[in-house]
Amino acid sequence: MARIINEPSHTFNEYLLIPGYSSSECTPANVSLKTPLVKYRRGEAPSLSMNIPMVSAIMQSVSGDRLAIALATEGGISFIYGSQSIEDEAAMIKRVKAYKAGFVRSDSNLRPDSTLADILELKERTGHSTVAITEDGTREGRLVGIVTSKDYRVSRLDRSTPVSTFMTPFEKLVWAKEGTTLKEANDILWDHKLNALPIIDDDRKLCYFVFRKDYDMHKQNPNELLDAHKRYIVGAGINTRDYEQRIPALIEAGADVLCIDSSEGFSEWQKRTLAWVREKYGDTVKIGAGNVVDGAGFRFLAECGADFVKVGIGGGSICITRETKGIGRGQATALIDVCAERDKYFEETGIYIPVCSDGGIVYDHHITLALAMGADFVMLGRYFARFDESPTSKVSIGGTYYKEYWGEGSSRARNWQRYDMGGDKKLSFEEGVDSYVPYAGSLKDNVEMSLSKVKSTMCNCGALTIPELQEKAVITLVSATSIVEGGAHDVIQKDKTQIK
């Protein structure tokens, strides 16, 4: 007969944190949420860390390039969904990497004999108002001028007007030579009150632009997550079928970290994928794996070479794997089990492998509980699907706005690779639903609010960092009755009545 675990598995909602001593230093402003993303050896720093413990789910309805930019601005990472063509996923990665950088290669370029109509068409297509005018119209051609929105008024110029007649010519431009540091370039921008500074070589060929808005954005968003070239950090989802073609394309596009997108990670398929990555790239390519729900699953993926391990099966709001297949585990219990094995592995090997809690987050305080239970960061789907920046449509139902949200195992996504067990290339039955979630506005506002709650709770526990929280936290299991007691009860709430 099967091995029976008589202890029931629990969800986050069945636990509470017990407050600890808080010193005068324990204020939310002093809390650091920095956390490792990939494995590292004892005494060394991880090669990739995040400034907040949040990543977005590898889902069509969540992680597009727009959300990736917004989340990296706040200090987290999006994993662009892999259930699309290799070319389309790579294009999304490129858009994120090109959005912001210290030195930006121009992707809006025209020749002097182009017209105002060409300028307007290019602006409509790229969204960029700064256009480099080069002799041959290429990004690295000889610079002859620049056009910005200040150089023309559509109401006063015919659309056939040549660019050469209204551009700012090179002779009137402020520019810098190749080799100028980013600090020097920013100083020039400020000294001359410029919005864009072209960087050229000795032959006057355009090398880069440096934009004032990038400097301003960094000052406004001190947590933004940037690589060594001042570009946003972005992740990408892969599957265990076409990884030999997909991974090289994503790496070339600029993906900083990969993650195998699978409903169940304790498998030969993930072992083969990780082995191929290590054989081809060594440790230079960072890749997470999962999902698992116990210590044995963690140990398996750790020994296969995973850089982080995702925990959770069936706990997502749109996931029906537990209903359809009868597999899974309560998210809190799964996380506690896996993190205990992670700590044991660290003691044995000196290698720390971060754990990502994926699923089961309903309320903001569940994030704090997940961190206290040992997670290094959480992966969120429904949470991010509600925001302006998610790739889905906003719809009005009964006068209330919602965003569309569907699972990768739904008939809409039909991401058969995620549920692949070596059979036919199709989704035999659904493991996710198609749904709506209440529209919640911008990512920035909501993430700031959620993390302010996390920081406040950490202070209640006397912790200023995530490792300190994990060391000091005391967690209690609660009864069904005490869960009811924890909410508003025995009163008539004002927003539930109409006073006439």
Please answer whether residues 377 and 353 qualify as being in contact, where contact means their C-beta atoms are separated by less than 8 angstroms. Answer: no
Catalytic residue among 231, 246, 342, 418: 418
Helix (H) / strand (E) element for 337: namely: helix 331-349
Give the Cα separation of 339 and 211 in Å (integer).
44
Structure tokens at 395: 């719809």
In sequence order, the β-bridge partners of residue 259 are 237, 288
| Active site (annotated) includes residue 319 | yes
Of 145, 154, 104, residue with least CA distance to 128 = 104
Which residues face 77 on adjacent strands?
A: 55
Do 454 and 84 meet the contact criterion of CB atoms below 8 Å apart?
Answer: no
Question: Is residue 231 a contact partner of residue 127, using CB atoms and an 8 Å limit?
Answer: no
| Cα separation, 354 vs 337, whole angstroms | 14
Q: Which amino acid is at 208?
A: Y
Cα three-residue angle 196-188-104, rounded to 5 degrees: 40
Instruction: Identify the CA nearest to 459 among candidates 23, 15, 35.
Output: 23
The dihedrals phi and psi of 63, each to the nearest 5 degrees, come to -100, 80
Let me know: does 112 contact 145? Beta carbons within 8 Å. Answer: yes
Helix (H, G, I), strand (E, B) or coil at 34: coil
Beta bridge partners of 237: 259
* Closest by Cα among 455, 463, 353 to 51: 455
Out of 26, 259, 319, 339, which one is annotated catalytic? Answer: 319
Taking CA atoms, 438 is separated from 358, 384, 386, in Å, by 21, 11, 6
Phi-psi region of 214 (alpha: psi -120 to 50; beta: other; left: phi over 0): alpha
DSSP 86-140: HHHHHHHHHHHHHHS-SSB----EE-TT-BHHHHHHHHHHH----EEEETTSSTT
CA distances from 339 to 16, 288, 313, 348, 352 (A): 18, 15, 16, 14, 11
- By annotation, the residues acting in catalysis are 319, 418
